[in-house]
């Protein structure tokens, strides 16, 4: 983040009058104020010695006794030195709850400058969720329960908002927060039953078309065979009538040419019909096998989120 200029409040006792007419002193006894002043002096000494972690603990102890804006500001400065920018931003906000009243002119301007610089590294996520019983996580940590709304101060950059509820597809959003802005998040949960679909390796119509085509060929073969059988019956009737007194078995006499053609046609139709039945049956069986092998698998949308400044965009794809 940008370098933040640091201005430390000088002496708490001198800078902050302890009389009770100031809003930040109301309800705080003189003895408590003196005790807080002592801790504040010790914290300032530690800060000057670059012992920032120890100074922070002293500032916290002083605030526990007396939540004075100057203590809050010095604590914010210490948090900045420790690169704990979220906590520093919160401390500066509380230090300014009474405006410029607790500060001299120069120090107040420095407080505003530090706050402005921090804004470049800190923003907010404003999230809502309507599904009762769901739980929302921010960056992998429990955040709030649904239904509800939560606004959280976060560092600028990419964050993950996740919604979970048993029986529902987990919602995952990646949100980019720009410094000084608020990104919104709407947690939408989809029931697993409606999210899961069945996907076949091949279009179902292919196997059914093959099976139906084979059956049609086989039925066509049956028709040809029956027609050949009818022709053969006609041949036998004609043969019995014309050859009542006997005919050569080869039917090679010119007078018997029509009978020979009739028998030949019947035999050919019979062979074609049988061939079509066998071929069509094989094709139909292939279609049935394809139908059996074409088993579906469950497909579930996988939320793939593309972060954008101030929010997010999501698309659905994938399977399991």
Average pLDDT over residues 21-40: 89
Give the range among 2-16, 146-160, 283-297 with minimum mean pLDDT: 2-16
Quick: pLDDT tens for 194-218.
766 667 677 777 777 877 887 888 7
Q: Are 231 and 256 members of one domain?
A: yes
Identify whether 269 is part of a domain: yes
Residue 171's domain is classified under what CATH number?
Answer: 2.60.40.1120
Q: Are 148 and 115 members of one domain?
A: no
User: Rounded mean pLDDT of the chain?
Assistant: 80
Range of the domain at 151: 122-196+301-317
Q: Are 35 and 159 members of one domain?
A: no
Residue 97's domain is classified under what CATH number?
Answer: 1.25.40.10
The pLDDT value recorded for residue 299 is 63
Identify whether 280 is part of a domain: yes
Identify whether 7 is part of a domain: no
Identify whether 1 is part of a domain: no
Identify whether 220 is part of a domain: yes
Element (DSSP H or E) covering residue 119 = helix 105-119
Q: Are 188 and 257 members of one domain?
A: no
pLDDT at 303 over 60: no
The pLDDT value recorded for residue 298 is 64
Strands (E), 9-147: 122-129, 135-138, 141-145
Q: What is the pTM of this model?
A: 0.56
The pLDDT value recorded for residue 270 is 78
Identify whether 256 is part of a domain: yes
In the chain, what percentage of residues exceed pLDDT 90?
A: 40
Q: Are 152 and 56 members of one domain?
A: no
pLDDT at 161 over 90: yes
181 and 123 in contact (C-beta within 8 Å)? yes
Specify the number of domains making up the chain.
Answer: 3
65 and 39 in contact (C-beta within 8 Å)? yes
Give the range among 59-73, 134-148, 257-271, 305-319 with minimum mean pLDDT: 305-319
- Give CA torsion, residues 54, 60, 62, 67, to 10 deg: 150
Identify whether 5 is part of a domain: no
Separation CA 186–CA 267 (nearest Å): 77
Q: Are 189 and 308 members of one domain?
A: yes
Quick: pLDDT tens for 65-116.
999 999 999 999 999 999 999 999 999 999 999 999 988 898 899 899 888 8
Q: Are 88 and 45 members of one domain?
A: yes
Q: Are 206 and 174 members of one domain?
A: no
Quick: pLDDT tens for 162-185.
999 998 888 889 999 998 899 999
Q: Which of 119, 134, 167 is the last residue of a domain?
A: 119
């Amino acid at each position: 983040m940008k370098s933040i200029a640091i201005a430390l409040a000088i002496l708490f006792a001198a800078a902050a009058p302890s009389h009770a007419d100031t809003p930040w002193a109301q309800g705080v006894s003189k003895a408590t104020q003196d005790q807080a002043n002592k801790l504040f002096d010790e914290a300032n000494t530690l800060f000057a010695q670059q012992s920032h972690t120890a100074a922070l603990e002293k500032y916290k102890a002083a605030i526990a006794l007396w939540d004075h804006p100057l203590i809050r500001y010095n604590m914010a400065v210490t948090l900045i030195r420790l690169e704990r920018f979220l906590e520093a931003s919160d401390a500066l906000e509380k230090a300014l709850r009474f405006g410029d009243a607790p500060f001299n002119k120069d120090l107040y301007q420095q407080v505003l400058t530090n706050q402005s610089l921090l804004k470049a590294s800190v923003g907010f996520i404003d999230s809502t969720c309507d599904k009762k019983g769901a739980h929302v996580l921010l960056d992998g940590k429990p955040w709030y329960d649904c239904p509800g709304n939560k606004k959280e101060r976060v560092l600028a950059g990419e964050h993950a908002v996740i919604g979970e509820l048993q029986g529902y597809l987990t919602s995952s959003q990646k949100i980019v927060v720009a410094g000084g802005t608020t990104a919104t998040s709407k947690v939408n949960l989809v029931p697993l039953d409606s999210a899961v679909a069945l996907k076949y390796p091949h279009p179902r119509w292919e196997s059914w078309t093959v099976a139906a085509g084979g059956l049609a060929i086989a039925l066509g073969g049956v028709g040809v065979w029956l027609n050949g059988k009818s022709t053969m019956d006609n041949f036998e009737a004609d043969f019995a009538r014309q050859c009542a007194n006997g005919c050569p078995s080869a039917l090679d006499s010119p007078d018997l040419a029509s009978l020979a053609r009739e028998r030949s046609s019947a035999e050919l139709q019979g062979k074609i019909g049988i061939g079509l039945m066998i071929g069509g049956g094989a094709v139909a069986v292939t279609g049935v096998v394809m139908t059996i092998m074409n088993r579906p698998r469950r497909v579930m949308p996988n939320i793939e989120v593309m972060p954008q400044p101030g929010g997010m965009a999501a698309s659905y794809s994938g399977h399991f």
